[in-house]
Every structure is written in C-alpha cells, then in structure tokens.
Amino acid sequence: MNRTNVIMVTALLALGMLLSGSNARAQEPPKMPYVFEKNCFLCHKSPERTGPIGIYDMRSKSGNPLHEQYIRNNVRSGQNAMPAFRISEVNPKGLNAIVTYLKEMAEYRKTHPGYKPTPTE
C-alpha cells in the first residue's frame, strides 16, 4: 500500500469509529435534567398530565413546531395553566438545560416515537 492509501484507510476507519460512537449515543434517550424533573415533569408526563406532552416532540397542541424561544418565554412568563418561573426558581443555566433536553428528546422520538420520558435515577 502506498502512503496515500494508508492515510485514506486510516481516515475512513477513524470516521467509522466516530459514527458508530454517535449512533450508540443516539440510541440512548436523553437524560432528563434535574431542573426539568423538579419543575416541569409533574405536569408534562404521560398519561396523567395537565400540560401538553407535545413539547417532547417540539410541537404545540395544534401540531405546529415549537421554537426554543417560545419555550423560554413560556417558562419565564407562563401561559394559561402553566405558571411563570422566576430566575430564582429556574436560573439561565437551568433554562438552557430544559431547552437542550427538549430538543434532544424531539430528535430521539423521531426514531423512537413510542418512548415516554422518565426521570433519571
């Protein structure tokens, strides 16, 4: 094998290992952050729920896509039955964790539509 072939084979093997590692992580459901479990999950769980569970697919009750800013605004301002959470209750880092979790969950549920989120143990 000449040097170019060795480099190409090495690069392909490295790429394959990267892709197989990301696939393994993609098969695991995202871990629910504590701030979501503490403040959101009680109302946004299935089947006993008061809040919509479409948030796990980043969809509104009517099926429209939810933008992350909509979630941020609802957490801070509340809407209908959802209370507003002050910065002392959900800090900016916690709010980022909620949004990240919901986006990751929506991606996961595209390939696992029957998955129901559960708190981490």
Q: How far apart are CA 89 and CA 105, in angstroms?
A: 23
SS3 27: coil
> Would you place residue 17 in the very low, low, confident or very high pLDDT band (cuts 50, 70, 90)?
low
CATH of the domain at 50: 1.10.760.10
Residue 41 shares a structural domain with residue 97: yes
Residue 6 shares a structural domain with residue 35: no
- Domain span at residue 43 reads 31-121
Residue 20 shares a structural domain with residue 70: no
Q: Which pLDDT score, from 0 to 100, does residue 84 have?
A: 96
Q: Enumerate residues 6+ apart whose C-beta is below 8 A from 40.
A: 51, 98
> Would you place residue 45 in the very low, low, confident or very high pLDDT band (cuts 50, 70, 90)?
confident
Residue 8 shares a structural domain with residue 63: no
- What's the pTM value of the predicted model, to 2 decimals? 0.74
Residue 38 shares a structural domain with residue 14: no
pLDDT tens track for 82-120: 999 999 999 999 999 999 999 999 999 999 998 989 887
